[in-house]
Structure 1
Amino acid sequence: MATAYPNEITASPEAVSPASPASSTGQIPLEQPPKLKGRHRLLQNLQRISSSPSLTRRGRSSSTGYRRDGKASLSCVSLSQSAYTPCLGNGSTSQLYGGLSARPITSGSGDSPECDANARIRLVGSDSPNASQSRTIPLPMDMRPGSRGLSPGTDAVEEPAAARSTPKPKKVFDFWGSMPDELKMRIFQFLPPREIVRCSAVSKAWNKMCFDGQLWTQVDTTDYYRDIPSDGLVKLITSGGPFVRDLNLRGCVQLKDKWQTEGERITDVCRNLVNFSLEGCRIDKSSIHYFLLRNTRLEYINLSGLAGVGNSAMKIIAQSCPQLETLNVSWCTGVHTAGLKMVVGACANLKDLRASEISGFDDVDFALQLYEKNTLERLIMSRTNLTDEFLKALVHGLDPEMDLLQERPIVPPRRLKHLDIHQCSDLTDDGVKRLAHNVPDLEGLHLSQCSELSDESVMAVIRTTPHLTHLELEDMEKLSNNTLVELAKSPCAARLEHLNISYCENLGDIGTLQIMKNCPSLRSVEMDNTRVSDLTLMEASVRVRKRGYDEKLPRVGLRLVVFDCANVTWAGVKEVLSSNAYLPRAARKSLQAVSVQSLVAQTVDPNQSTTVIASSITPPPAPSIYPNEIIHLKCFYGWQMTVDEHNRRVLRGDLAAANRLDRKWADYMMATEEAGTTGAGMRRRRRRAREAERIYNEDDEEAGTFGVGAITTLGAGRRRHTEGGGSGGCMVM
């Protein structure tokens, strides 16, 4: 058998069927070839292996004869890319090859009659030696194979189309790029400002998104004002522009030079501010005025500590900010109560006025204006020249009607909730007593460092303020324990959360014990430099333990400050530490049961119905019950590190470690006392030595002239027992 060539197919005359279907349709039948004999007959039945499965499927005829001269050895069909016309013309020397039509023509089609199912083709490979016709013809395009590895049963017409179709590349889904801009802005809103500024360096697109005004409706530089440069801060403010509602530039001193060059541009783009704070900034007066003039919807203004703020700024606020609710001008030396009059008169919604260290609080007219408005809920007038007349006019007005039975003026109550008048040295009991019965909604009262106040005025106020939660009485030397006892019995005792009696040297356990017992909501008590002792700490520990136990980790419920309290010893501090890690008996029993179950596990064998005890080496689990609240103590600096470490262990739930630390610290303190490293320990050691010596001397049966247990003058000996038992004796020198 001859070798198969991929590009040529042999066409044999025997391939033409003698009984062609064309005879039934009236076409001229094909001529029968001459009958061969011998080796020509044998070679006529041989066929070449085709490289095209399509030709195999259609049926191949036998090849033509093989001649030794090589002129017509094996004729092949060319598989070149030349065009192929299935309808061939009739030649005089050609033969018809039945059944090789490229496309079967259906009956009734409009094609040429020459292109039918039995098209005539040329005979390739004639035996004539002078044959001038081509020995190959091109294979039709729709019959060319797509691959050499196709199976014989595969359709040759459909396969080239699949082979020619190139696989489509996988479409890459850009998650971030296809996301809407609204969702991108929403994602960036969850990032803190510091991270948004860092993200702006990723790309130009991210830089544009990070400085989009939608992200900067609130610009609060409290956390990063030291790290952000002036150029970045200016870009941040200007990019926000009209979107900015809250602008807090507290402490941004790096903008000192930018206000002169960029101040007008910054104030021009920020025209929709609602909350505005420039506390601690170094800003010129003109920029402040521009901000106030161009933002008419301001409700909160904080200009604390600005030297450029004066009465002119107060005038602009009165004209441009009618919706103002909070104004802070503390420590603004250029502001006077005359400027505050304009603000109070123009801003009907003013509720919070903070004016510490402002001059002019001896002006009774300003007090009368505040009395007539009666809109303030917070008033801070600390460190001013506040007088009793101003306070009387603020609370009672001028010449009020008096109630003869109760001997007090009949006036509408004030709406004040927080009043701060500390360090006003001109105030006396006569002025502060006017607050009684006139501030029923008062929640915070700050009277610290008013040295002229005594129990009379303070007790009168706390009796008539049932909502009082914060009371500051620091450094008031004339106060006594009667004030604390009265506070413990007052209506506000159940609500009291914060109490400051530091540097009140006349206050001690008599008053503080009552406070600890009757004020269950206490959160903070400052008692440094007072006469309180360990009894107060022990009572506080008992009260905090009564706040309950549960499965949650403990939290700080009460803060005690006992700096420089001479009567507070390490024993009282130890009592607080032990109370923080204390568990009630019921809780300990439950923990013991859990520990026993972890050490001894009982399993039942279902086959023998017997109990098998298996020991476990796993440690018992951590306690599942903790105190709800503990005490955070501020004490002597030498003990503070131990107290802080104990609190950390308790707060993370490691009560066993906290108890170990408590015991070790107690042992150390006892050993230190015995060693006499401190003055109190030395005295106690000497007292114990004298007591031991006395007990030792009392063991003698006989007493000398100096009495029982007498010791010599030099302390070097004791009386000896004489054998004669006489009353006399000698002294061993």
Structure 2
Amino acid sequence: MASPLPDMILQAEGPAAIPIEHSEAIAIEPSPKLRGRAKLLQSLHRISSSPSLAQLGRTRASSNPYGSRNTLSCVSLASASSPRNYDNNSYSSQSSRDGYSTAPTSVPNTPGIDTPFFDGSFSRIAIRRKEQGSATPGNSTPTSALPSDMRPHSRGGLIPFQPQSSMPEILEDYFSMPVIKVKRAPRTNFNFWEEMPHEIKLSIFSYLKPKELVRASVVSKTFHKVCFDGQLWTCFDASEFYKDIPAGSLAKIIVAAGPFVKDLNLRGCVQVEHYKRAEMVVKACKNLINATLEGCRNFQRSTLHSLLKSNERLTNLNLTGLTAVTNGTCKIIAQSCPSLEMFNISWCTHMDAKGIRTVIKGCPKLVDLRAGEVRGFNSLELAQDIFESNRLQKLVLSGCTDLTDEALQTMLIGQDPEIDILTELPMVPLRRFRHLDLSRCTSLTSSGVKTLANMVPDLEGLQLSGCVSLTDNALIDLLATTPRLTQLDLEELSELSNTLLFEHLAKAPCAPILEHLSISYCENLGDTGMIPVIRACSNLRNIDMDNTKISDLVLTEAASMIRTRSSGTTCARSRPRVGLRMVVFDCQNVTWTGIREVLSRNSEVRKPTTTQKDVTYPTEIIGMKCFYGWQMTVNEHMKRVLKGDLPAAGRLERKWTEYMMANEEAGAGGAGLRRRRRRAREAQMLHADEEEGGIGMGGIGRRRRARSNGCAIM
């Protein structure tokens, strides 16, 4: 009897199949021919697979893909979506092309479906594609292959066909396990930091400060190597952390970055005391351009000389306060540092003007000389060298008590200059001084300072504080011939009068650009001289007027000047800045009324006018240093104004005014003394509330201090 399923071939697949190697092919006997009821049920079982074609969801193509003479068997049309599914561990075998099994069978682990006439040998159905013209033994009708787009798909995907086989098969059953997806090979480990170019690493670390670089260096060896790369330490400034860094770490950093360091600032680093550490620093630094050793008192003389000899490119050298500096040091500088432009040897007590003379002759590019409190400036030879060089733009001689009128005149006009008959002025080149500091040169008089007139047209800063012998005659001609003057220090010149201020300074060509003015301890100066100066010098930024005779009128004029020169803003959220700083303590004529006027102008909101239709807010205010009893109120008011809290600042000013008025009333005699004192105490309590803290922009949110009521009887 012919087999009822001539085209079905059972194939072992998946983890349930147990392959046995070296097995021999066993011929499969054909199934007996069915009769009667069994044959009918078998036919119905085969027909039940036909409806699964409707679930494939494919419309028929325009051309007939089944135009060949082959036919489709019902078994080959079984779909993955068919409701009848089978076990994954069922009985299966692999068949050869001739219909013989090439692998032994295995016993199914899962029992068959409890259905009548269900044969366990057909628990797994294989769909096989046959080549055209091939026929299965026992069946005279050949089957054709199912198109690729109509093949059923299992849950785990299609089973790949063997490329060498001409009969690929698709197996599917109810209990089939999903096909295990092939895992992707892990990507090779990519070390981001190691693969990064060294230049980019340096660019990243360049944003770190010295302290942060030292902290980051302990992360790893790679970080340590990058953090101490010399390219990150071209500018080594230890002035910010000199108290925290130990000597060993300081020397280590400088040695590691020595060849790259161009700017070295060891200001205050007294821990570099051991000669070996200092020698390490000196040997490492060979390319310095700017060097500051101010305060390094433990630097040995030999170490300093070695540093100077090995750095020929030095342009700025600061040796302030070093005891190791001598005239021999200046000689080495003159020989080894021809590019020197700035030289600071202030408070070097072991040298004198002879060393400075050597430096002036040996350094042709020197333009900035600072030699405060150095002895020997009464030397006419040194003064003549300064005159002949005519290169200095900044000369600081503060505290040089040896400087005389003759030496100063020699620096300016030389010895025995030729005098012009018409102008009676020396016929010499003009001096290039831009900043001249002669403060505390007590030997100078008006005749010497008067020589500056007509000789320093480029002068921008002049400091004459402490020259107590100077009078108005020393400055009258000088102010008229210095149109670029922006800083004028006349502190402790008690011989000056108001005439110098309102007749000469207020009318001088430098008045519109004058920014800094100091007349502290000029006891003869008052409102008569300062009010015209404040009106004329509208660009003032700092005024020191302590211990003078000025009054509240000067403060009012200053507030008016600031209001005039600053343009208001209509933005309520804008923050003002301090445009003028005034020092007015120890002035007998300055009262709380003048201070209150300044506070009121600082927090004033201008109302709309004919020219200005909107409300304007201040952009510049006045900062004051006044009597210590009022200073706390002034500071609190300033803090509120700078925050933009103008309502709170105005309220503080009003409460303080009430408090000061109550105090004045309480101090007066006559009837009502107790009432006035009580009002003064109440005003003081309210003022204390305001000084405890501000409130919000809207005038709310303030928390008052809790206070119990007094006894009614008492």
The TM-score normalised by the length of structure 1 is 0.70
* In 1: Cα distance, 2:194 partner to 2:363 partner: 50
Partner of 2:679: none
Shift of 1:449: 0.6
Partner of 2:409: 392
* In 1: Cα distance, 2:592 partner to 2:126 partner: 116
Gaps of 5+ in 2: 9-27, 53-71, 77-89, 103-124, 139-150, 163-169, 172-177, 674-714
- Among 568, 580, 587, the alignment partner of 1:549 is 568
User: What are the residue-to-residue correspondences of 1:484-499 with 2, within 5 Å?
Assistant: 484-485=501-502, 486-499=504-517
- Among 555, 560, 572, the alignment partner of 1:537 is 555
User: What are the residue-to-residue correspondences of 1:216-231 with 2, within 5 Å?
Assistant: 216-231=233-248
Matched, 1:645 2:636: yes
Partner of 1:274: 289
Shift of 1:100: 8.9
- Equivalent position amino acid for 1:266 in 2: V
Partner of 2:232: 215
User: What are the residue-to-residue correspondences of 1:464-503 with 2, within 5 Å?
Assistant: 464-485=481-502, 486-503=504-521
- Equivalent position amino acid for 2:281 in 1: I
Shift of 1:162: 7.3
Matched, 1:520 2:524: no
Deviations 1:613-638 (A, max 9, x none): xxxxxxxxxxx732221111110000
* Closer/same/farther in 2, CA of residues 688 and 343 from structure 1, 3 Å limit: farther
* In 2: Cα distance, 1:297 partner to 1:309 partner: 19
- Partners of 2:562 and 2:620 within 8 A in 1: yes
* In 2: Cα distance, 1:261 partner to 1:167 partner: 61
- Partners of 1:335 and 1:358 within 8 A in 2: yes
* In 2: Cα distance, 1:505 partner to 1:17 partner: 127
SS in 1 for 2:525: coil
SS in 2 for 1:359: coil
- Equivalent position amino acid for 1:253 in 2: V
Partner of 1:240: 257
Deviations 1:245-267 (A, max 9, x none): 1111111122223xx12222222
Deviations 1:640-671 (A, max 9, x none): 00001111111122211111111110110111
* In 2: Cα distance, 1:561 partner to 1:536 partner: 12
SS in 1 for 2:640: helix
Deviations 1:426-451 (A, max 9, x none): 11111111111000000111111111
- Partners of 2:543 and 2:582 within 8 A in 1: yes
- Partners of 1:525 and 1:560 within 8 A in 2: yes
Partner of 1:410: 427
* In 2: Cα distance, 1:209 partner to 1:569 partner: 62
Partner of 2:468: 451
Partner of 1:584: 606
Shift of 1:533: 0.9
- Partners of 1:309 and 1:335 within 8 A in 2: yes
* Closer/same/farther in 2, CA of residues 543 and 45 from structure 1, 3 Å limit: same
Deviations 1:221-256 (A, max 9, x none): 222222222222222222222221111111112222
- Partners of 2:156 and 2:179 within 8 A in 1: no
* Closer/same/farther in 2, CA of residues 286 and 102 from structure 1, 3 Å limit: farther
* In 2: Cα distance, 1:87 partner to 1:255 partner: 98
* In 2: Cα distance, 1:119 partner to 1:285 partner: 112
* In 2: Cα distance, 1:357 partner to 1:146 partner: 104
Shift of 1:484: 1.4
Shift of 1:373: 0.8
SS in 2 for 1:491: coil
- Equivalent position amino acid for 1:245 in 2: K
User: What are the residue-to-residue correspondences of 1:619-698 with 2, within 5 Å?
Assistant: 625-676=616-667, 682=668, 685=669
* In 2: Cα distance, 1:90 partner to 1:646 partner: 104
- Partners of 1:253 and 1:280 within 8 A in 2: yes
- Among 339, 343, 361, the alignment partner of 2:359 is 343
User: What are the residue-to-residue correspondences of 1:50-449 with 2, within 5 Å?
Assistant: 76-78=91-93, 149-150=155-156, 154=158, 157=161, 163-169=180-186, 179-257=196-274, 260-281=275-296, 282-384=298-400, 385-449=402-466
- Equivalent position amino acid for 1:562 in 2: V
- Equivalent position amino acid for 2:367 in 1: K
- Equivalent position amino acid for 2:295 in 1: G
* In 1: Cα distance, 2:620 partner to 2:671 partner: 40
Partner of 1:565: 587
- Equivalent position amino acid for 1:565 in 2: C
Shift of 1:206: 2.2
SS in 1 for 2:249: helix
SS in 1 for 2:359: helix
Computed over aligned residues only, the root mean square deviation of the Cα atoms, in angstroms, reads 3.8
- Partners of 1:472 and 1:499 within 8 A in 2: yes
Shift of 1:41: 5.3
Shift of 1:32: 8.6
The TM-score normalised by the length of structure 2 is 0.72
- Partners of 1:242 and 1:270 within 8 A in 2: yes
- Partners of 2:3 and 2:32 within 8 A in 1: no
* In 2: Cα distance, 1:427 partner to 1:549 partner: 47
Shift of 1:289: 1.5
* In 2: Cα distance, 1:171 partner to 1:553 partner: 57
* Closer/same/farther in 2, CA of residues 633 and 90 from structure 1, 3 Å limit: closer
* In 1: Cα distance, 2:610 partner to 2:513 partner: 33
Deviations 1:556-609 (A, max 9, x none): 111110111111111111111111112333279989x8xxxxxxxxxxxxxxxx
Deviations 1:16-50 (A, max 9, x none): 469xxxxxxxxxxx999874546875797698999
- Equivalent position amino acid for 1:291 in 2: L
* In 2: Cα distance, 1:58 partner to 1:313 partner: 113
- Partners of 2:598 and 2:622 within 8 A in 1: yes
Deviations 1:382-423 (A, max 9, x none): 111101111011000111110122222111100000001111
- Equivalent position amino acid for 2:562 in 1: V
SS in 2 for 1:553: coil
* In 2: Cα distance, 1:188 partner to 1:570 partner: 54
- Equivalent position amino acid for 1:633 in 2: M
Shift of 1:287: 2.1
* Closer/same/farther in 2, CA of residues 15 and 626 from structure 1, 3 Å limit: same
Partner of 1:131: none
* In 2: Cα distance, 1:656 partner to 1:587 partner: 21
- Partners of 1:305 and 1:330 within 8 A in 2: yes
SS in 2 for 1:431: helix
* Closer/same/farther in 2, CA of residues 554 and 183 from structure 1, 3 Å limit: same
Shift of 1:674: 1.3
* In 2: Cα distance, 1:31 partner to 1:200 partner: 83
- Partners of 1:101 and 1:119 within 8 A in 2: no
Shift of 1:332: 0.6
* In 1: Cα distance, 2:421 partner to 2:505 partner: 28
- Partners of 2:3 and 2:30 within 8 A in 1: no
* In 2: Cα distance, 1:303 partner to 1:90 partner: 103
- Equivalent position amino acid for 1:658 in 2: A
- Partners of 1:560 and 1:634 within 8 A in 2: yes
* In 2: Cα distance, 1:15 partner to 1:101 partner: 12
- Partners of 2:347 and 2:371 within 8 A in 1: yes
